[in-house]
Each structure stands twice: as C-alpha cells, then as structure tokens.
Structure 1
Amino acid sequence: MLTPPRTLLRRDGDIYTLERALHRRGFAVVAGADEAGRGACAGPLVAAAAVLGTGRRGEIPELADSKLLTPAARERVYDAVVARALAYRVVVVEAAEVDARGLHVCNVAALRRALAGLPVPPQYVLTDGFRVDGAGVPGLAVWKGDQVAACVAAASVLAKVTRDRIMVGLDGTYPGYGFAVHKGYVTPEHREALTRLGPCAEHRFSYVNVAAAARAARPVGVEPPTGAGTPGGTVGVARRARRRSTPSVGEDVAMEGGGR
C-alpha cells in the first residue's frame, strides 16, 4: 500500500492555508474545535466547533484568534461566523460539573460533544493544542491552532463570545465580583472580591484559591456541604450562595448551533 505524499504548507501562508491544503486532499468538510474558560476560577467552560465553507465563501472578515481581537471585533466576527459557517455548535459546561468531573475530562468531553453535534458531519478535525479522540474521523492537534487554522479560530470566537456574554449576565446575578470585567479569571480585583465576599455558587470550588476563600468565609461551627471538595476534605459554599445541581456534560448543559 502506497503512502500518500506529504502535504507541504508555506510558512508565509494565511489563516486559511491549512484548510485549503486539506480541501485539496479531498477533505471537503473540515471542523475546528476550541474552548474558552479553562483558566478561569468562576463561570462555565465553553467549547465550540465550526465548519467553514470552501474557497472565498468560507473566508470571514477579521477572523483571528479570539484573544487577539478587541471585544467589538469579536462580536463582529461572531455574527459573521454564525451567519456564514456551514455548521457550528456550542456546548456550555457549568462550574459545578467542572468541580465534579475535573477540568480536563470536562474539556475533552465538551469538545467531543461539540464536534459530534455538528449538523454537517466533519471529514477531518483540527483542534487547538491537544487531540480529541472519539470523533470517528482523522484529526490533528495544532499548536496555537486558533492562530493558524481558520475553523479553529472561528470556534475560539464562538466559545469566547458565548462565555463572555454568560459572565456579563452573571455579573448582574452576583454583583461585587466584577464578572463583567475579568470574566471569572484570576485578577487582583477578583482575588480581592473573593477575600471580601467569599465565593459564590458560580465559582469552581475545586480550585485552590476558591477553596481557600470558601474556608475563610465559612462561619465558625458550620459544616461545609459535601460533594464540592478538594483532596483531603470538602470546602464550603459562601454564606449567600448555594450551588444548583448540574447535569452531566454528556447531557449538554446548554447547546446551540446551526448549519447551512
């Protein structure tokens, strides 16, 4: 059996170069997947998958890694991806599920669910940083994939904008933490709010800084609830908050998507 020739990519190519090469090799439907919120200590983890069209039809103005875009540009690109992508899917995993199952397990499961939920089945999958097994088609983990593969960049924008909108909404539900500004990531302002207020129900209690804040906020003599623990014991929920029960990521806590 002959091995097909290797595909060579130009170093000076644009963000669509990798997908064009895959299209030339016969993979007409290439999906990209990425997530937002891995490094946050509050709020959900959001994964997304996207399939762009071939040729000029698949090119999205301003498309780039979501972290390199301004908030206004991300919103414009988000709208363009939703309007022009062949297919897309977004999966939201609540903070309680991250605590219960672990960040990496939830991350891989959410990416897999986003890819599996695409209304147009992919023929090849590109992911950012690490491979996601179980897609049923060939795939490649691309270093800094959201900067070099258009479909991964599109997925990163979908995930980032969806998550940012959720965090802005949570800012109204849990005022004082600054969720609308730092989006649940660890900043000096967020650390100060955690110390002053204790964690709320949307914090990830398996994270060391949140667990420490929860212990400090617990009234003397009050036992913490079980099930939100860290190795060696459980941690408490802040006095003003009780975490709501959350279904497994396998049931899709929240999912949205579309196809063309």
Structure 2
Amino acid sequence: MSFVVRRDAGIYGYERALKRAGFAGVAGVDEAGRGACAGPLVAASVILPARAIEGLADSKKLTALRRERLFPLIQARAVAWSVVRIEPDECDALGMHVANLEALRRAVARLEVRPDFVLTDGFPVDGLGSPSLAMWKGDAVAASVAAASILAKVTRDRIMTEYASDYPSYQFDVHKGYCTPLHQSELDAQGPCAIHRMKWDNVARTTKLKRS
C-alpha cells in the first residue's frame, strides 16, 4: 500500500489520502498521562466523519477551555469514539510502555465501528486488528489523532480534578499528577497516596524515606 500526503494538505491530509487509497474508516488513537506519576493512564480512539470538525489540533497546544468546547463536539459528530483508563496499580504491574500499548489496543478494540486503518501517535502498536501507521507528532498532523488526544486529555484532567477532592493536600487539580516541583514537594512531605504509581523512582524514594 502507498499513498501520498502533500505538505500543505492540512490536518485532514492523512485521512483524505487514506480514503483515496480505499480506507474509508480511519481511526486515530492517543493517550494522556503516560508521563505522570499519579492517576490513571487514559487512551482514546476516534473515527472522524467526512465533514471536518473545525479547530482540531494537538491537545497540548489548545487552551483548557478550547479542549472542553471541542470535547462534546467530537463525541457528537464522530462516527465512533471510545475512552479507556488503566489504573495506577495496573500501570505498575505492566510497566508504562506495555501499559501504554495495552491502553491504545483497548481503545481501538472498544470502537463500535471497526476501523479500516489506524493512525497511532509516536510509535507502532501491534495487535490493533487493522493496518496501521505510526506517526511522529501524530496529534499535530492527523485530525483523528488530534481528536483522540483531546478526548484522552479532557477525560484525564477531569478525573484528576475529582481526585483533588479526595486528596486535597496533593493539589491534583493543579499538576494533574505530573512530576512537577509542586507535586514532588507534596510527595516528599506526605509520601504517596492510593493513586500514585508506586514503581516510579520518585514515588518509591519517598516511600522509603517515610519508612526510615
């Protein structure tokens, strides 16, 4: 299989090229939270409609307000979409790379419509059940991956904001479980809570300090 995407094709260029090559249903898949040391890993997959959704871009380049506005629009207009989460204890058990692959597979598997082709962000993922292509910075150059990144990011941010009510002293609504100086200072002072990924070096270190 071969297809050509022009450099000026825009964020829908890959989906259009794949459709010309005979792949009508193109799913994008992406995750949020891989680099965090607390909270779940969240993955999403989206098959977009033929009609473009304006404003799609890499979720990290959008404001929180813009992501929130696009979130229901993607859900309402997508041909199919899914969101899955892998909890911290399973992330610890699998290791983050394996957990990430598993999350992406589960997200694609839970689509109500089987995709003809899957675009993944960053690295290849086997076991998707469809032909696939790994794309460098896929969430910035492919609309379906960008849509998936928005669903994953918004879902995870909401989860972490809810956890802030359960564990107010950690301020999860501020740093969302990522390894910021603020988060590390809280870890050093209090030790980990139930939603921390205990296998992470910075978390394990604070556990040992609290035990000594």
TM-score by length of 2: 0.97
Corresponding residue for 1:70?
63
- How many residues end up aligned between the 2 structures? 212
Corresponding residue for 2:19?
23
> Following superposition, which runs of at least 4 residues in structure 1 exceed 2 angstroms of deviation?
none
Q: What is the alpha-carbon distance in structure 1 between the residues aligned to residue 4 and residue 30 of structure 2? A: 24
Corresponding residue for 1:9?
5
1:36 maps onto 2:32 in alignment: yes
What are the within-5 Å matches in structure 2 for residues 50-61 of structure 1?
50-54=46-50, 57=51, 59-61=52-54
- Larger % of helix: which? 2
Q: Which amino acid aligns with 1:107?
A: N
1:172 maps onto 2:168 in alignment: no
- Deviation string for 1:221-246 (max 9, x for gaps)? xxxxxxxxxxxxxxxxxxxxxxxxxx
Counterpart of 2:75 in 1: which secondary structure? Answer: helix
Q: What is the alpha-carbon distance in structure 2 between the residues aligned to residue 41 and residue 136 of structure 1? A: 30
Q: Percent identity?
A: 59
TM-score by length of 1: 0.80
Counterpart of 1:113 in 2: which secondary structure? Answer: helix
Q: Which amino acid aligns with 2:64?
A: P
1:137 to 108, 125, 130: 130
Counterpart of 2:208 in 1: which secondary structure? Answer: helix
What are the within-5 Å matches in structure 2 for residues 1-260 of structure 1?
6-54=2-50, 57=51, 59-218=52-211
Q: What is the alpha-carbon distance in structure 2 between the residues aligned to residue 29 and residue 12 of structure 1? A: 22
Counterpart of 1:176 in 2: which secondary structure? Answer: helix
Unpaired runs of at least 5, structure 1 = 221-260
Counterpart of 2:146 in 1: which secondary structure? Answer: helix
Kindly state the Cα deviation for residue 136 of structure 1 after the two structures are TM-superposed. 2.0
- Deviation string for 1:152-203 (max 9, x for gaps)? 0000001000000000000010111110011000111101100111110100
- Larger-gyration structure (1/2): 1
Q: What is the alpha-carbon distance in structure 1 between the residues aligned to residue 168 and residue 38 of structure 2? A: 13
Q: What is the alpha-carbon distance in structure 2 between the residues aligned to residue 51 and residue 186 of structure 1? A: 32
Q: What is the alpha-carbon distance in structure 2 between the residues aligned to residue 53 and residue 62 of structure 1? A: 15
What's the RMSD between the two structures over aligned residues? 1.0
Q: What is the alpha-carbon distance in structure 2 between the residues aligned to residue 100 and residue 8 of structure 1? A: 41
Kindly state the Cα deviation for residue 26 of structure 1 after the two structures are TM-superposed. 1.1
Q: Which amino acid aligns with 2:25?
A: V
Counterpart of 1:151 in 2: which secondary structure? Answer: helix
Counterpart of 2:168 in 1: which secondary structure? Answer: coil
Kindly state the Cα deviation for residue 135 of structure 1 after the two structures are TM-superposed. 1.6
